[in-house]
Structure 1
Amino acid sequence: MTTSYQENDSFASAAEFTDNVDKRESLGKVFEVIFLFGLMIGIFVLGLLLFDILGDGLGRFLSPGFLTDTPSRFPDQGGIRPAIISSILLGLVVIFVTVPIGVGAALYLEEYAPKAWWTAIIEINISNLAGVPSIVYGLLGLGVFNYLLGFGPALISGALTLSLLSLPVIIVTSREAIRAVPDSLRNASYGLGVTKWKTISSHVIPYAIPGILTGVIISVSRAIGDAASLIVVGAVGFLTFDPGLFQRFMALPIQIYSYITRPEPGFASAAAATIIALLLLILALNGVAIYIRQRFSIR
């Protein structure tokens, strides 16, 4: 009798467990459909925006001299060459400044820093800085680089301001990439008598480079497309010469803002064409970074 009761209880428990599994699978399918629907909405809206931009600006973008001439006060004349050069220089300076500092800070926090209260405060502040609005960084750059260091409204001031904007993102993503490296890889290296720095430089960093480059892609794309901080630092919307590091500068987002605020109808198509140029520039930089990331992933 006791055995039959136990068998009945076990059968009831198995049936209840099966019902719970079925409910969870059904609920999971419902959320899968909801998330897929949200993804399709986002892709649809993005497609509409791209279709509208291409329809308004593709003809102006393909017109002779648009990419190679300086701006003009006439909407159907001139080009965006100074803005393209400025954006490329801004992106290069951001990469050269933020990658060594950001990756170095991430390596120190993950591999060398002791687990103390002050490191916890640093980590919290870095995470908080990643969500600070860009205009706040613009005000910081205005005070430090324009006035304190005396660079003035030059391209170097804008580039260093964008570097401050990008650093928290690179540090956070680099820490996650370094943390994802298996400890067994480190322990195997230490077991062979290899020093800590040699282990980090020969094993940890190459293994973490794909994740680090992902953070670099995100941060540089955000920096090149940012306009608020550059307006505060002193970027201009009209420039008739190719800028240098210590000269007045403009950028593609500032050029778009300058065009879109003008009342003449022709400037709307010029703004759409400039948006196309900005998208292509970001895609080109992302393509190079993705190619490098894939090469390291294969290796």
Structure 2
Amino acid sequence: MTVLLYLATGACAGVLAGLLGVGGGLVIVPMLTFIFTSQGLPTAHILHLALGTSLASILFTSASSIRAHHGRDAVNWQTVRRITPGILIGTLAGTWVAAQLSTGFLKVFFAGFQYFVAIQLLLDIKPTPHRQLPGDMAIFGVGSLIGVISSLVGIGGGTMSVPFMIWCNTPLRTAIGTSAAIGFPIALAGAAGYVINGLSTHLPDHSLGFVHLPALAGIVTASMLTAPFGARLAHSLPIGGLKKAFALLLLVMGTKMLLSLM
């Protein structure tokens, strides 16, 4: 049953990623939190395990996404190179901060981020392009901020990097492709950080630091299989309505996570 739940989590994340272009972390983290809780895993580290496992899974899905976007010439590699140093440092720092925080605090932070994304989707809030990409110091700071927040919520950063690049006059298609490429260093540094920061902690069997290996295997297997199916559905279903439905799902999951604190 546990294996089936891991596979179901990966399948849902894969379909949503292909259908709406959203990072799977917004779905993977809360679902793993509920699964780990039902398994009786140590309460103090449940969310840390969910975050680390989510970022490790994004390593595989982002690699596939990068290949697809690069093939369509939709990745601005100069922007990726400029923002990656800040991304790496911010993400590594964020994993260290997360390791010091309680599961309760991380749940509140994650739920708040879900509400933020849900409101953006429901109100269809989009930035207005009115400037160019900033200089090296500023883009380093932006990358660091995206990295810190991404590591605290276990996502590939697309919900922040895409609006930022659109704001800086990057075409939507290129912003999405470049964001997919930025997701890889986030996932790499995030997974490494959660592994390192969890090594000195007593965790369940089959865990590598704060990465739960059976959950990782199930999620990656299912998401890689279902993402192409979600991409095909995107051409035949009303995306606007689906985004609103996904926003409502985020609100429900965020509320459930907050209620679990009681």
TM-score clears 0.5? no
